[in-house]
Structure 1
Amino acid sequence: MIPRGFRFGAVRAGIKGPGRLDMGLLWCETPASAAGVFTRNRVVAAPVVLCRERVVRGTTRAVLVNAGNANACTGEAGLADARRLTAAAARELGVAPEEVLMCSTGVIGARLPVDRMEKAIPALRASLAEDPDPFARSILTTDRFPKISARSFRVEGREVCLVGVAKGAGMIRPDMGTMLAFLATDAAVEPPLLRQVLVQAVDRTFNRITVDGDTSTNDTVLLLAGGAAGVAPADAPGGLDALAEAVEGVCRDLARMIVADGEGATKVVEVRVVGAADEASALRIARTVAESPLVKTAIHGEDPNWGRIAAALGRSGAYGGGPFHIAVGGVEIVRDGLGLGLEAEAEAHRAMTGREFEIRITLDEGAGEAAVTTCDLSAEYVRINADYRS
């Protein structure tokens, strides 16, 4: 289910080592409306600087992506490298350099192997095809699997397609995690409206996951709308809602895949808070619990140690101090701030042996509700990150 007018490419440029796809290209046959959401980290990589600069034009033709090197903390030389590579891609594609965006992911602090990458660009263009899988594989770092999601919907009787590709497994606490995501649709959407749809979707999905609480220097989500479907959702009854629902659905799929692929992760857990003073308070509590190393290690050990959850609730700064209830995997283990005993905890432990479950915290302070999706913290996470540059 590939949006009309888009193609994907991937090559081995020698960035990550012999035999591994490490440079990708997303190409639109006609000028596409473009919108982007980027990391809130104050230390930003050169490609983020370049993307922010160019996406404000509102249109683009291509996105060049590399893995294995973040091109972050490389100064003016790193920005010059990004400009040189996008100019080389633009020449090969027959477009202006300003029509090519760039994203990078990998080790921070090293210059890109520009000469090798530039030589690979003709082969990258030749690799363009309708299959997004090689592109999805070319942007991976510590990921265990590629992440692709697609949706289709109808507007005025015409099918509109949307596809999304992402990477991410560690340094994940998107505050838009290291994460990149690229979405493309063949709907016709004006850039300001496209950005509105994207920002809303990112806030409800990528901004509500965590693997390790770290926000990357390179986080980027791009949404391109090529218009080849010949229909503008904003001009049709219900069309804009259908587009927004599809974009949010694809983002949610990709976000959950990122958590499931968390470095060393064996569990996917939704921390849901209900009855908080407001949504912002609920989100703050959920995020504090979801990012607690003590909670995450208890999840890994399948231990319903609710004291760790209660402690995170108490230090969140968004809890009013009244009664609280905790359920794990649908099993209530705390009521009115008091544990319900070993039998309840044993039942909760059985629920925690599964791959996915929910931690629900119920308060009586208002109508606020929010959820953050997290994973467990294992010894494998430490091994991966201790050896990352070795």
Structure 2
Amino acid sequence: MKHQETTSQQYNFSIIKHGDISTPQGFTAGGMHIGLRANKKDFGWIYSSSLASAAAVYTLNQFKAAPLIVTEDTLQKSKGKLQALVVNSANANSCTGQQGIDDARQTQTWVAQQLQIPSEHVAVASTGVIGEYLPMDKIKTGTEHIKDANFATPGAFNEAILTTDTCTKHIAVSLKIDGKTVTIGGSTKGSGMIHPNMATMLAFITTDASIESNTLHQLLKSSTDHTFNMITVDGDTSTNDMVLVMANHQVEHQILSQDHPQWETFVDAFNFVCTFLAKAIARDGEGATKLISVNVSGAKSISDARKIGKNYRKFKSSKISYFWRRCQFWSNHYSYWLQRM
């Protein structure tokens, strides 16, 4: 499909119509049904044709599921480098002890063998029912089809990661860095059990920009703090969820850092993608029919503004979804309002 771009005067980037996780150069994505869910896709993957800088942030739940433990360890060992990610739905591989960790590592090995890359360059993610072991025969079947062009569509990936979601959630934007076109794509799942500091939510972001892993991690952490970690649907938390980003350097420009003259342009585009995905999750809360954003002005600090805004969040019985749009602070005057979206 040929992508179309829509440029808004308020942005220094363009929103790509039908943009997706594989819109950036060098990325492919796919998904298929392996039997974890009834008649629905339940196994997906992202692959970069070149080694990518990578970073991730994880749930603050005191218990991390096996896939998060393995992915975090993998990123540490690879010094922030990845080339592929696989994710299954319907089974969280959480509270499964050492066997769960072994199963996640076995999944890495199978994927690495198919793609002929080191296993430490493969991330794993899972979402779904807690406390059940992965049916590894079915997982192996999925890994054996990663290179099959019949399943290599971003739409299939978007569907494969869903659980209680009512729709897929994805976006891509393009911008100019050193006169060259850079693209950022994203896909997420999440519906119900969403609460600040990551819960029952997976988000994946790709870019063909040239940026080192440490810089990418700092950017991701900052963006996550004021996007994904500022939404709530139920006030619940989870063991599984993370936001992961890969940058494969396929657009050759000056390495992005805070010293780059167009750093803020890239940051704005990256934050826009995260904001779009976070709002998409909030809109898709189980039983939610309204999206409400809270603006807080007059707080003495960003931290105070967030605390004030979050006092509005926990209406579990009515299943209201919130996205805390901004936390602005002005002198000593406080004002609060709810803006219906």
TM-score w.r.t. the length of structure 2 is: 0.85
Tell me by how many angstroms 1:235 deviates.
8.6
Kept in 2, the 8 Å contact 1:208–1:372? The answer is: no
Kept in 1, the 8 Å contact 2:305–2:327? The answer is: no
2:97 equivalent to 1:75:
yes
When residues 100 and 140 of structure 1 are mapped into structure 2, their CA distance, relative to the original with a 3 A threshold, is: same
Tell me by how many angstroms 1:230 deviates.
1.3
2:296 paired residue among 265, 273, 295: 273
Kept in 2, the 8 Å contact 1:286–1:371? The answer is: no
CA distance in 1, matches of 2:138, 2:91: 13
In structure 2, list runs of 5 or more residues that go unmatched. 1-18
Q: Give the 3-state SS of the residue equivalent to 1:213 in structure 2.
A: coil
Tell me by how many angstroms 1:196 deviates.
0.9
Q: How does 1:111-126 map to 2 (within 5 A)?
A: 111-126=133-148
Kept in 2, the 8 Å contact 1:82–1:102? The answer is: yes
2:61 equivalent to 1:33:
no
Return the letter of the residue paired with 1:135: F
When residues 233 and 148 of structure 1 are mapped into structure 2, their CA distance, relative to the original with a 3 A threshold, is: same
CA distance in 1, matches of 2:24, 2:311: 38
Kept in 2, the 8 Å contact 1:39–1:174? The answer is: no
Q: Give the 3-state SS of the residue equivalent to 2:251 in structure 1.
A: coil
Tell me by how many angstroms 1:164 deviates.
0.3
Tell me by how many angstroms 1:124 deviates.
2.8
Kept in 2, the 8 Å contact 1:279–1:369? The answer is: no
Aligned to 1:381: none
Tell me by how many angstroms 1:102 deviates.
0.2
CA distance in 1, matches of 2:312, 2:213: 37
Kept in 2, the 8 Å contact 1:286–1:372? The answer is: no
2:220 equivalent to 1:198:
yes
| Higher RCO, Cα 8 Å, sep 6+ | 2
Return the letter of the residue paired with 2:283: A
Return the letter of the residue paired with 1:273: V
Q: Give the 3-state SS of the residue equivalent to 1:106 in structure 2.
A: coil
CA distance in 2, matches of 1:373, 1:52: 38
Return the letter of the residue paired with 1:38: Y
2:72 paired residue among 42, 52, 68: 52
CA distance in 2, matches of 1:226, 1:357: 30
2:22 equivalent to 1:5:
no
When residues 277 and 133 of structure 1 are mapped into structure 2, their CA distance, relative to the original with a 3 A threshold, is: same
CA distance in 2, matches of 1:360, 1:47: 32
- Per-residue deviation, residues 105-134 of structure 1 (Å, max 9, x unmatched): 001111111111102222232148774221
Return the letter of the residue paired with 1:36: A
Aligned to 1:132: 154
CA distance in 1, matches of 2:61, 2:340: 20
- Per-residue deviation, residues 313-367 of structure 1 (Å, max 9, x unmatched): xxxxxxxxxxxxxxxxxxxxxxxxxxxxxxxxxxxxxxxxxxx999999999837
2:197 equivalent to 1:175:
yes
Return the letter of the residue paired with 2:206: A
In structure 1, list runs of 5 or more residues that go unmatched. 301-355, 376-390
Q: How does 1:219-234 map to 2 (within 5 A)?
A: 219-231=241-253, 232-234=255-257
Equivalenced residues, count: 317
Q: How does 1:1-390 map to 2 (within 5 A)?
A: 1=19, 2-17=23-38, 19-56=39-76, 57-127=79-149, 131-231=153-253, 232-234=255-257, 237-293=260-316, 296=318, 366=332
Tell me by how many angstroms 1:371 deviates.
9.6
CA distance in 2, matches of 1:374, 1:126: 45
Tell me by how many angstroms 1:273 deviates.
2.3
Aligned to 2:13: none
Q: Give the 3-state SS of the residue equivalent to 1:88 in structure 2.
A: helix
Larger radius of gyration: 1
CA distance in 1, matches of 2:329, 2:268: 29
CA distance in 1, matches of 2:337, 2:130: 31
Query: What do you get for the CA RMSD once the two structures are aligned?
Result: 3.0
Deviates more, 1:45-54 or 1:224-233: 224-233
Specify which structure has the higher proportion of helix. Answer: 1
Q: Give the 3-state SS of the residue equivalent to 2:147 in structure 1.
A: helix
When residues 363 and 86 of structure 1 are mapped into structure 2, their CA distance, relative to the original with a 3 A threshold, is: closer
TM-score w.r.t. the length of structure 1 is: 0.75
- Per-residue deviation, residues 295-322 of structure 1 (Å, max 9, x unmatched): x56x69xxxxxxxxxxxxxxxxxxxxxx
